[in-house]
Structure 1
Amino acid sequence: MRAAFAAFALALTAVSAQDQVPKYESSLNMTIDPGTVDDATKAAWCNAQSNTCNTLCDDSPSTDDCGYDDLSYECLCSSNDSAPGLQYYQQTMPTLICKELFSQCIQQHVGDARSQRACKSNIDDLCGTLNPNKADVGSDDDEEDDDDDEASETTATTAAPTATDDSTSEDSVTTTDSDDLAGPTPGPKGVAAMAALGLMVALV
Structure 2
Amino acid sequence: MLSKTMFILASAATLVNSQFDPTSVPYATRQAWCNSQTSACPILCLQLPGASGTPTSNTCSADTLLYDCICSNNVIPNASEYSQTIPYYTCTETNNQCVQKCNGDSTCQNDCRVKNPCGAQDPKRVNITTTAKPTPTASETPVNTLVNGATGAGPRMASVNMSHVYGLCVLVGGFVAGFATLL
Q: TM-score, normalization: structure 1? A: 0.47
> Which residue is equivalent to 1:128?
119
**1:2-151 residue pairs with structure 2 within 5 A?**
29=16, 31-58=19-46, 59-79=53-73, 81-123=74-116, 125=117, 127-129=118-120, 136=126
Any gaps of 5 or more consecutive residues in structure 2?
1-14, 47-52, 130-183
Give identity over the alignment, percent.
38
Matched residues in 2 for 1:74 and 1:116: separation?
32
Q: Give, as a single letter, the amino acid of the residue that structure 2 aligns with 1:68.
A: A
Matched residues in 2 for 1:119 and 1:129: separation?
17
Aligned residue pairs total: 106
Q: Deviation of residue 120 (structure 1)?
A: 1.5
**1:154-165 residue pairs with structure 2 within 5 A?**
none
Q: Give, as a single letter, the amino acid of the residue that structure 2 aligns with 1:44.
A: A
Q: Deviation of residue 122 (structure 1)?
A: 2.0
Q: CA RMSD in A?
A: 2.6
Matched residues in 2 for 1:61 and 1:91: separation?
17
Any gaps of 5 or more consecutive residues in structure 1?
1-27, 145-204
8 Å contact kept, 1:56–1:135: no
Matched residues in 2 for 1:32 and 1:84: separation?
21
SS at match of 2:70: strand
SS at match of 1:49: helix
Matched residues in 1 for 2:62 and 2:102: separation?
29
- Report which of the two structures shows the higher radius of gyration computed on alpha carbons: 1
Q: Deviation of residue 29 (structure 1)?
A: 3.5
Q: TM-score, normalization: structure 2? A: 0.52
Matched residues in 2 for 1:96 and 1:111: separation?
23
Residues 69 and 135 of structure 1: CA distance in aligned 2, closer, same or farther (over 3 Å) = farther
Q: Deviation of residue 57 (structure 1)?
A: 1.3
Q: Deviation of residue 117 (structure 1)?
A: 2.2
Matched residues in 2 for 1:50 and 1:135: separation?
22
Matched residues in 2 for 1:46 and 1:71: separation?
7
Residues 99 and 61 of structure 1: CA distance in aligned 2, closer, same or farther (over 3 Å) = same
Q: Give, as a single letter, the amino acid of the residue that structure 1 aligns with 2:99.
A: I
Q: Deviation of residue 46 (structure 1)?
A: 0.2
Matched residues in 2 for 1:99 and 1:48: separation?
15
